[in-house]
Structure 1
C-alpha cells in the first residue's frame, strides 16, 4: 500500500476545504511544498516548489504547515487497521505499508477481492492509495509506485519489464546514471550482462533487481505492538468488603508490576475500575509522586479511595490500568528498609490523594542575585530537589515586600520606626550593592541600584535594609533568624 498524498489527505480529513491545498515545511531557509492534494497536482504544482513560486503560479492555493510527527502517528494507526487483512504488516518508508498476505487472501474471496475491499474502505475514509501485489516485496513496491497492479505469478519480469528502473528502490544518483546509459526500464536492466553492472554499480543494484524478481528473499518485519499495562480480574461471586477489594487489587498489582518491571518502566497514574453487579462502575484514580512498580508501596495508597467506594449489590470485576507510564531503570537496593527518598515520595503521594499533587510544592534554587528571584516554587511531585543552596552573602530567613522607613542619608539610620516599633541600631554590616537585571520586567526594581545592609538593633531585631541611591530612601525587606 502506497499513500502518495498521505499528509494532505490526513489534513483534509480534519479540515475539509475545496480548492488546491499544499502542505509546506521550512527547508534551507525556504518554505517548500512537501505534499499536494489532487487538484493542486492537476494545476501543475509539484513537490519541492517554494511556497512563493507556487502562490504566484496558483493564486488560489491554500497552504498549511506540515506535521511529520502527526503523519507518522497516522501511518501507525493505518498499520494497526491493516492487520484486519493479515497479521504481518510493516511500515514502508514514511508513506507506505507492506503486507504479507500469504494464506489470508482466501478470507476475502481471493487476491482480487482483497484489493477491492482495501480500495473501497480507504476511499470511503478519504485516502488515496495505490496497491501493488507480487510474489516478492520488491515487485509489489514497484507496481504500487509505478504501475499499480498484480505481478504475474511465477514470472514477475513479464509485468515489471516496462516499469522504470526507479521501481527497484534505487538511489536517485543511480537512477540518473542508468538512464544516461540507456537502461531506462527494468526489462532493459534485466537483459544487460550482470558482470559489467556489478563492476560499475556494485552488488546493491543487482540485489535490488533480484529482490524484485523473487531471486533473493526479503523479509517483512511487523511493527511490535506497544506494551499494554492493564490487568483484569473477574470474580465468580460479587464482593463488597473493603478488605476483599484490597485483596483483589493486590493480585492485580502483582501482575501489573511484573509487566512494568519487564519493560523497565514505572506507573505514574493508576486507575482501578470496580464494576458492580448492576453494570455501573466506580473508579479510583491514584497519582504518584514518582514512577513506581513496587506493589508493597502502591497498595496502601489505594486504601482510602477503595474505602470510599459504594459497592451497591456487589462488585464482580476489577480492572487496574497504568494510564501514565515513565521509564524507571533498575537501581541499587538497600539492605534495611526503604530509602529516605522513598519515604518522602510515599508521603507526597498520600497527601496528594487528599489535596492534589499540584498543591504540594517545594522551593528550588534559581540562578539570580535578585533576592526575590533567588528561588523557584515547583510542584514536589514533578521536580527533583536541587542543591546545595549557595549564597555568597548571608540572606534573611524571612523575605517580604520592601517596607519604607523614615530615614535619610546613605548610612543606616541610628534610630527608626518599623511596624510600630522604635528601634535603635546597634551594629550595621554592609553595604552589598545589587544591580537590577535589565532584561527582566520588574516594577519593584525600576528605581535602579540597591545598597543592602545587615542591621542588628538593641531591641533584638536583625533586619535586612537597603538604600536606593537614585531615588534616596530606606526600606526593610527581610528579617534574619
Structure 2
C-alpha cells in the first residue's frame, strides 16, 4: 500500500485554548487564569504558563489560587466564545485536508490520508501547523498515527516520542475513575492493558475499556465526521455598465431575490434579515438592511419592502455591483396548499408590520399577549409583534373590560355598588350590578396598588349607558372604577 493511500489520522490539541483566546487580544504579563463556577465555587478553568509555574492547576478553587499567587489576574470563562473560536480554527485546518472534525472542547481531528504529500510529507505539514499556531499565539500539540485513538494519545502524551504501548492508560480517552481503578491493579500502560485477559476487564470496568483499546490499536474502526458548513444565502450581480436610477436598482434586486429565495426554499428556510449592498464605481458602498416581521422567501412580497430603503441611497457616479444576503435565517417548512388558496391574513399582517417597522423600528410595533395572572394589571404583557405570535384569548371565567386604566376613586359605602355616584364629572345611576368577583393579591409580589388587600369586582351597567368595572376593598373600605366595557 502506498503512502498516499495508507490511513493517517492527525490530532490537533490546543491545551490552553480558552486562556490564549483572551490573551491574544489583551496580553497580560502576569499569572492569568479563567474561572468557571462549579457547585457554587469559582474554580480555575484554564491558565497560562506563568500561573502554572506558581503551582496553580485546573480545578483549583479561585480562593486557594489567590492564596498561592496574590498577583493572579482572573476573569470569568466564556465557553460559548471558546466554541466559536474552535470553529474558526476548524475552518483554518481545512487548508490541510477537507475532513476535519471536532475532538472535544479543545481539539480537532484530521484525516490527512492522501494529502500530506502536498505539504512535503507529514513532518513538514506538522512543522507548518506549529509555525502558524505559534504566530497566532496558540499552544499546539500534534499527534499522527494510523488510528484516531492513537493520534489522540500521541498529541496529549508525548507527540509520538514513545511507542503506543508505552503510553499511560489515560491516553485511551477513559474516565478518570476508570484510569484510577486500572492503575490500582498495576495496569499503568497500554501495553500492560493489552497483555491482560479481556474477560475480567470487561466484567469489572465494562466494555468501554476494551473498545478504546481496540480503537487505538486499529482493531476497531472509528469514523471521523467532518462538520458541514452551513448554507450561505447570498447572491451577487456585477454590472457591465454602472446604474443609478431607482427602477434599475429595483430590477437588479428582483433579479437577485429569485435565486436567493429558491435556495431558501430548497433548505425549507425563510429570511428574517436581508442586507442589500450596493458598490459604487468609486469603490464606496452603501447598505440597505431589511428586517422582516416573519420568515419569508417569496420574492414578490419581499421586493416592495426594499423600496423605501433603496429610495434613500446615493448612487454617486453609478453602481457597478449589487449583492444580496440573508443575514438571519429561520426554518420555514413547506406547507400544503391548493389551487384556491389565497394570501392569508397573517401574511398580510406581517407585511404591514414590516412596512411600519422600517419607519419606526420593529421593536416599536407591539401587541398584547395574555399572561398567567388573575390580577388585572398583570393579566397581559406587551411584546414586539415581529418576534411573537398571536395567542388564544384570555382564559377567564368572568368577562374583562376592553379598556383598563389605573383605579379612580368614587364616593360609596357598603359592600354593594352605590345607587348613584359621580365619575369623571358625570353623574351616573346604577341600573344593574353583577358580582362580586373576589381577587386576592399575589403575596409573593410587591405591588403598591394592591396594598389595600383583596378586591371585590363588580360589573355595573348604568342607566346612562356606561358599562363600568368597579371594585370594593373590604379591609380599607372604598370604591374605585378601573375599567370600562365596550
Q: Distance in 1 between matches of 2:392 and 2:274?
A: 31
Q: 1:122 aligns with which of 130, 133, 143?
A: 133
Q: 1:476 to 1:127 in 2, by over 3 A?
A: same
2:275 is matched with 271
Matched, 1:143 2:148: no
Question: In 2, Cα distance between the equivalents of 1:389 and 1:175?
Answer: 58
Please say if 1:414 is aligned against 2:419: yes
Give how far 1:79 is off.
1.1
Higher mean C-alpha displacement, 177-186 vs 423-432: 177-186
Residues 89, 471 of structure 1: alpha-carbon distance in 2 compared, 3 angstrom cutoff: same
Instruction: Say which of 345, 354, 364 aligns to 1:340.
Output: 345
- Structure 1 residue 385: deviation in Å? 0.7
CA distance, structure 2, for counterparts of residue 435 and residue 177 of structure 1: 60
Q: How many Å separate the matches in 2 of 1:448 and 1:211?
A: 70
> Match of 1:392?
397
The residue aligned with 2:15 is 4
Tell me, in whole angstroms, the C-alpha distance in 2 between the residues paired with 1:359 and 1:396. 25
Residue of structure 2 equivalent to 1:453: 458
Bigger shift: residues 287-296 or 409-418: 409-418
Tell me the SS of whatever aligns to 1:395.
coil
Q: State the alpha-carbon separation in 1 of the partners of residues 199 and 392 from structure 2.
A: 63
Distance of 1:170 and 1:414 partners within structure 2: 82
Choose the corresponding residue for 2:306, options 298, 302, 307.
Answer: 302
Rounded to whole Å, the distance in 1 between the matches of 2:299 and 2:474 is 62
In structure 1, the partner of 2:107 is 96
8 Å contact from structure 1 (residues 266, 328) kept in 2:
yes
C-alpha distance in 2 between matches for 1:139 and 1:419: 85
Q: Give the deviation of 1:323 after TM superposition.
A: 1.0
Indicate how the Cα distance of structure 1 residues 450 and 164 shifts in structure 2: closer, same or farther if over 3 A, else same. closer
Identify if the C-alpha distance between structure 1 residues 429 and 275 changes in structure 2 by more than 3 Å, giving closer, same or farther. same
Aligned-residue Cα RMSD (Å) equals 3.1
* 1:25–1:32 CA contact under 8 A, matched in 2: yes
Q: Which runs of 5+ in 2 are unaligned?
A: 1-11
* SS of corresponding position for 2:133: helix
| In structure 2, C-alpha distance between the alignment counterparts of 1:439 and 1:235, rounded to whole Å | 65
Mapped partners of 1:110, 1:82: distance in 2 = 16
After TM superposition, give the deviation of residue 341 of structure 1 in Å: 1.7
Q: Structure 2 vs 1, CA of residues 477 and 42 (structure 1 numbering), >3 Å: closer, same or farther?
A: same
Gaps of at least 5 residues in structure 1 are 151-157
Is 1:65 the counterpart of 2:76? The answer is yes
CA contact (8 A) 1:20 1:62 kept: yes
Distance 1:434 1:249, change over 3 A: same
After TM superposition, give the deviation of residue 256 of structure 1 in Å: 1.3
Please, which of 63, 83, 91 is the counterpart of residue 80 of structure 1?
91
Call closer, same or farther: CA 1:399–1:163 in 2, change over 3 Å.
closer
Equivalent residues in 2 for 1:72-471 (5 A)?
72-105=83-116, 108-149=119-160, 159-172=163-176, 175-176=179-180, 179=183, 182-187=186-191, 192=195, 196-197=197-198, 200-201=201-202, 208=212, 212=216, 218-334=222-338, 335-471=340-476
Superposition deviation, residue 261 in structure 1:
2.1
Measured in 2, the distance between the counterparts of 1:232 and 1:69 equals: 32
Any conservation in 2 of the 1:198–1:205 contact (CA below 8 Å)?
no
Provide the aligned length of Structure 1 versus Structure 2: 471
> TM-score scaled by structure 2?
0.85
Evaluate the alpha carbon distance shift between residue 451 and residue 182 of structure 1 in structure 2; reply closer, same or farther with a 3 A threshold.
closer
3-state secondary structure, aligned to 1:287: strand
SS at match of 2:468: strand
Q: How far 1:34 sits from its partner (Å)?
A: 3.5
The secondary structure found in structure 2 opposite 1:254 is helix
How far apart are residue 183 of structure 1 and its match? 4.8
Shift of 1:409: 3.9
Say which of 24, 31, 44 aligns to 1:20: 31
Relative contact order higher in (CA < 8 Å, ≥ 6 apart): 2
CA distance in 1, matches of 2:97, 2:84: 20
Give the direction of change, closer, same or farther, for the CA distance of 1:99–1:455 in structure 2 (3 Å limit): closer
2:306 aligns to what SS in structure 1? helix
Alignment CA distance shift 1:311-1:184 (3 Å): same
Moved more, 220-229 or 7-16: 7-16
**Shift, 1:473, TM fit:** 2.7
Deviation at 1:127? 1.8
